[in-house]
Amino acid sequence: MENSIRARVRAGDAAAFGLVFEDHAQAVYRHAVRMTGDWAVAEDVVSLTFLEAWRLRARVDPEGESLRPWLLGIAGNVIRNTRRAARRHQRALAKLPPRAAMPDFAGELAGRIADAEELAAAKAALERLRPAEREVFALCVWEGLDHAAVAEALGRPVGTIRSRLSRARARLRELTAKELAASRSARSGRGGQRPGAGGQVAGDRDLAVRPYEETTR
């Protein structure tokens, strides 16, 4: 069945491509949310990913299994391009006259969320990973792809995927622990105490994955 869909997509069958969208759009969206942390940007990534996939349909191998790795590979390229465009936009904004300062209510809102401290630490840790390691972590851990599928998505050897994932896990645990320690030290210095905060640092999947999964439900 998958081979038939691949052949039809390669041949430019719009109905077959519609089936591919129905089957994989949510996976692309979840991946985009986790990589960007922004729901609106993730929606744009989905649209651009499938537009690019349609443009590149002639490259689809008619033999093979799921098209998800191929689509997630395209999504990764779209995300990188989106980030470059965002940086250009930020540089342009920096040249504009400064706006009047507005009150920051982020601290008040975060205090109402039980997992705010852990989520902030995990997000900061993920952002400090090397982009290549973060992408492999997202595909292997969040999307549940095996090493071969991730290698296909990124166009890299399986051995490279294994080593990047191993480094990403180790770095994520280390960085998350440091972020939590720094956050709690700063809060302690202010004399504040968030009710219900636990002292245990969760593993990389429990800490980093669970909050993002909850946001995409």
pLDDT in tens, 22-69: 999 999 999 999 888 888 889 999 999 999 999 999 999 888 788 999
Cα-Cα-Cα-Cα dihedral sign, residues 25, 28, 31, 32: negative
More reliable by pLDDT, 171 or 201 = 171
Phi and psi at residue 122, to the nearest 5°: -65, -45
Domain covering 107-217 in this structure, CATH number: 1.10.10.10
Using the structure block, give the residue that is written with the tokens 């946001």.
Answer: 215
| Predicted pLDDT at 44 | 92
Q: What is the mean pLDDT of the chain?
A: 77
Choose among 151, 162, 160: nearest CA to 76. 151
| Predicted pLDDT at 79 | 92
Question: Averaging pLDDT over each range in 8-12, 97-101, 150-154, which range is the top one?
Answer: 8-12
| Predicted pLDDT at 179 | 83
Domain covering 1-102 in this structure, CATH number: 1.10.1740.10
The domains of the chain are located at: 1-102, 107-217
- Does the pLDDT of residue 80 top 50, yes or no? yes
pTM over 0.75: no
The first and second tokens of residue 180, run together, are 């939590």
